[in-house]
Amino acid sequence: MNAPLPKATLYEYLWENNKDYLHGTALKYFGKCITYGTLFEKSKKAANAFLNMGIKQGDIVTIMSMQTPETIYTIYGLNYIGAVSNLVYMTLTENEILDTIETTASKALFVMEPVLDKVEKVCDKITVPVVVLPVSGTMPFYMRALYNLKNGRQSKNAWMPFKDFLSKVSSDVVPVQFKEHDSMAVIVYTSGTTGEPKGVCLSNDGINALVYQDMNGLVEFERGKECLFLLPPFVGFGITNLHMILCGGVTLILQIVHEPEAIVTAFFRTKPYCFLTGPVLMDEISAHEPGKLQNVRYFIGGGGSITSAQEERINTLLKKSGSSARYSNGYGMTEAGSVLCYNINEVYKAGSVGIPFLKTTVKVVDDDGNELPYGKTGELLFDGDSLMMGYFDNTSATEEVIVYDEKGKRWLKTGDLGYVDEDGFVFLEGRKKRIYITMLEDGYVYKLFPQRIEELISALNGINACGVVVRKDEKRINEPVLFASIENYEESNVEAKTEEIKQAAGDGLPRHMRPVEIKIIKKMPMTASGKIDYR
């Protein structure tokens, strides 16, 4: 508890933990093995290439990609020279891409092939270098040839392929390793209660504090074991856990195909030591016969809760298979880098989200900020070394969620209701916030913010009121349905107004937030207090 936390950059801490194991496998990508030695070599080469591009300490580079080896080299290469990775969702609209480059003053854009079409639509407005991150670059030769034959395309623009970027190194330029560990390492995005994206600034020290707490906490890292890894870097939980697992010497099997069938197939084929997944795969996995899960030590779920029946089924399957793992869940926030507390194997209490990390403190307060005793429900607040530096260029929003007590200790206001029992286990009781999760056909889980949709549509001419509710969906978990009351309601106006709303949503919202159904009504139902009656 009292041991000092590491004081190092991400690259430094990764090196310190693996410098004696350079021949060990760090990454597996479609069966291709990449050693720690190669990971460090490629990352330093990327650092050199960035210097040749004119990128320097403190500069920001926007990255719009999945967890491919080239993306990982890019992130660590930037960290080596003290530059910052701005990790953005691949579902951004064309205007949002332009906006993030402008607001962060990014010096370059690194984008994965499948979303290059979006960049090409606004190419005339992009004034920074664009580097294309490949899907097939590290695949075995036969798979790469097959992928390129099936998916190859000619770009209208002379974007720079990553292999050409990596070749632009100079023997005259020797990157100096950046050492300021308390500086910003990455920007990842969250949207609070409104869905308006806010950049969460995570420091080297903050991310490494998470790694330290996990490596010296409840998880037993075993070098050379394998983790089937589904998390993209643009999710806070993704980049921090990617770094965490690599620092622990566990091999990352990078799974970028996210259809449930493909993930389940990979899971049973690779038989990983560790598996990080979401709730949508529980039924598919628990439907299999026991006997194939004996190698699984950590079976960690995230992105939403599962039912007690699902949890019982997966735990029964694990036990019958001879695994010592139990379905593990937890609780975290992007503003804290990742997980704040978790249930895991022997340290476990049904219905809770577990105990706090090693150097993380939780308290529960009432509406006036007074601390509550064990068993009493209030807002959950957390203190720890992993808390964000703040929201990027947004002091007022930062001050709303980071508060200080009389001793000067920083606390993160979660906006979630819960309590702590006398054994220290945290229980969630509900949310103060209207936030839901949803899933697209790519298999990723995204946050859904009704308020953001409402604010966009309410600004249109002729809209009296707008309310968004979610309904359960077997494939998407939750899907948004929009209701709007309009001026001069007549049947003849409904179709035109519906099309206008649909167009506005398509232009102004990421794909996972676009309403699946639009209902024009005469009058919006209201509560006695004058608010929209969502129920």
CATH of the domain at 281: 3.40.50.980
Name beta bridge partners: 479.
471
Residue 94 Cα distances to 117, 125, 199, 407, 453, angstroms: 9, 10, 18, 46, 18
Q: How far is CA 296 from the centre of its chain?
A: 23
Asked, for residue 251, whether it belongs to a domain, the answer is yes
Pick the last residue of a domain from 126, 153, 179.
179
Count, residues in the chain: 535
**pLDDT tens by residue, 77-112:** 999 999 999 999 988 889 999 999 999 999 999 999
Pick the last residue of a domain from 124, 151, 179.
179
- Percentage of the chain exceeding pLDDT 90: 57
**pLDDT tens by residue, 485-524:** 988 888 778 988 999 999 999 999 988 999 999 999 988 8
Q: Who has greater pLDDT, 154 or 478?
A: 478
Phi, psi angles (nearest 5°) of residue 501: -65, -45
Q: Who has greater pLDDT, 10 or 535?
A: 10
157, 116 in Cβ contact below 8 A? Answer: no
**pLDDT tens by residue, 126-144:** 999 999 999 999 999 999 8
- Say yes or no: 242 and 116 in one domain: no
User: For residues 117 and 140, what is the distance between their CA atoms, to the nearest angstrom?
Assistant: 26
- Say yes or no: 150 and 47 in one domain: yes
pTM of the model: 0.82
Q: Who has greater pLDDT, 293 or 62?
A: 62
Domain harbouring 508, CATH code: 3.30.300.30
- Say yes or no: 324 and 443 in one domain: no
Domains held by the chain: number = 3
Asked, for residue 354, whether it belongs to a domain, the answer is no
Average pLDDT value over all residues in the chain: 89
- Say yes or no: 322 and 450 in one domain: no
Residue 534 has pLDDT above 90, yes or no: no
- Say yes or no: 74 and 160 in one domain: yes
Q: Which domain covers residue 248, as residue numbers?
A: 217-328
Asked, for residue 485, whether it belongs to a domain, the answer is yes
Q: Is 101 exposed, middle or buried (0-12, 13-18, 19+ CB in 10 A)?
A: buried
Q: What is the pLDDT of residue 444?
A: 75
What is the average pLDDT across 13-29? 97
